[in-house]
Amino acid sequence: MSMKYLCITMKNILYILFASFTLTVKICNAQCRDIYGHKVECPTMDDSLIVYNNALKVYEYYENNPSYSKTRSQELMTKDEKRRVYELLEQALRMFYIIRREVAKLTAEEKKYNKETKPKEQYKDVTFKEYYSEIDEFKFYQRELENQIINLNAPASLYDNRIAPILINEYRNIDSNDIYFGDLVNLPLYIPVVVKPFLLLTSAELKVRNEILHILPSIEPPKEPKVIRHMVKRDSIKLDTFNISNGSPIYAFNEYGSGALIGFIINRKFKKIEPKDYDEYAVPSFAKKLLMDDKALDKMLRIKFGSYYLGLYN
């Protein structure tokens, strides 16, 4: 039985890069799903950049803020754990409404008492719109899960239900001179380097990303393989571990782990799949974009293969 399509996941990356292939594999345009398993439109690079830029602001605010101390961190490993994050966000949204409704029932005398017992600057609560804001069918802003005290100085987190956070960090405000003193923050987080578009990653960022995602270290060829058969090691790895020979298929992956055949290595140069063959090889849109951008394509191949790669075929 012949296979017209073969979906590639992140777990296949090392095998694809370093194993010899004797058959041409046709890659499917992977169907994207949201965190709940529904078939959805795949996120674009712009979508990822939006999530990445917000993740930078949120992560750096709490990690670099002397008023806050990280007290706990939970890594989200399974699909169920990642789906549970969105259930927790929904619960927090309901609790925000319930708590504020009850607070609104306080008598004028109780409100006055509460103000009189606060010796420092009065804490100002947030509105529903400041706590939650929907952008589109996939993206929304929402603040932390613990929402009795909300720090308006902190950037609101942006979530995309097609891209799962990988951590829930807990932070506590330890600054007794801060109006948010005692604030407990439970925050689902994207790690910036993980959601940054794959093609924009530097070599150092790619290494950090792989460590966070528990992907085995990638093997790189020697920087100057003048005589390949005599090059025994780079970081104690033999060059022939690559098993890259003439005609070896090369794959590109988007930031969600979906893979696509984009061409072949011939005499250490890269030969693209031609546009007339896109349908035959089921080349998805993200791979077509890459194949049309020689600069981005060249950068990706140099990161992947170092000086083994000698450039693009014209």
d(CA 148, CA 52): 27
Percent of the chain with pLDDT over 90: 37
pLDDT at 143 > cutoff 70:
yes
137: number of Cβ within 10 Å: 10
Looking at residue 240, what DSSP letter applies? G
d(CA 271, CA 202): 23
Q: How wide is the angle at C-alpha 260 spanned by C-alphas 256 and 265, nearest 5°?
A: 130
Q: How far is CA 152 from CA 62, 144, 213, in A?
A: 13, 11, 31
Could you tell me which residues come within 8 angstroms of residue 243 by beta carbon, excluding any fewer than 6 positions away?
A: 18, 19, 20
pLDDT at 170 > cutoff 50:
yes
217: number of Cβ within 10 Å: 11
pLDDT (tens digit per residue) in 234-269: 333 233 334 455 567 787 876 655 567 888 888 889
pLDDT bucket at 294, cuts 50 / 70 / 90: very high
- pLDDT at residue 15, as a whole number: 37
pTM (two decimals): 0.58
E-strand stretches of 151-202:
157-160, 167-173, 184-189
d(CA 119, CA 122): 8
Helix (H, G, I), strand (E, B) or coil at 75: strand
- pLDDT at residue 256, as a whole number: 56
Contact 35, 282 (CB under 8 A): no
Both tokens of 221, joined, read 């060829």
pLDDT (tens digit per residue) in 85-123: 999 999 999 999 888 877 777 655 565 555 555 444 566
- pLDDT at residue 140, as a whole number: 96
- pLDDT at residue 264, as a whole number: 85
Q: Could you give the residue ranges of the DSSP H alpha helices within the chain?
A: 13-18, 45-63, 79-104, 108-116, 128-131, 192-195, 203-212, 285-292, 294-305
- Nearest CA to 270 out of 285, 289, 252, 258 is that of 252
Could you tell me which residues come within 8 angstroms of residue 62 by beta carbon, excluding any fewer than 6 positions away?
A: 68, 70, 154, 169, 171, 185, 187
Average pLDDT, integer, range 178-198:
92
What does pLDDT average to over the chain?
77
Kindly state the helix (H) or strand (E) to which residue 139 belongs, with its residue range.
strand 139-142
Contact 304, 296 (CB under 8 A): no
Could you tell me which residues come within 8 angstroms of residue 35 by beta carbon, excluding any fewer than 6 positions away?
A: 82, 83, 85, 86, 161, 162, 164
Could you tell me which residues come within 8 angstroms of residue 247 by beta carbon, excluding any fewer than 6 positions away?
A: 264, 265, 266
- pLDDT at residue 234, as a whole number: 33
Contact 27, 8 (CB under 8 A): yes
- pLDDT at residue 28, as a whole number: 36
Half-sphere exposure of residue 36, counting CA atoms within 13 Å on the CB side?
A: 7
d(CA 279, CA 91): 45
pLDDT at 183 > cutoff 80:
yes
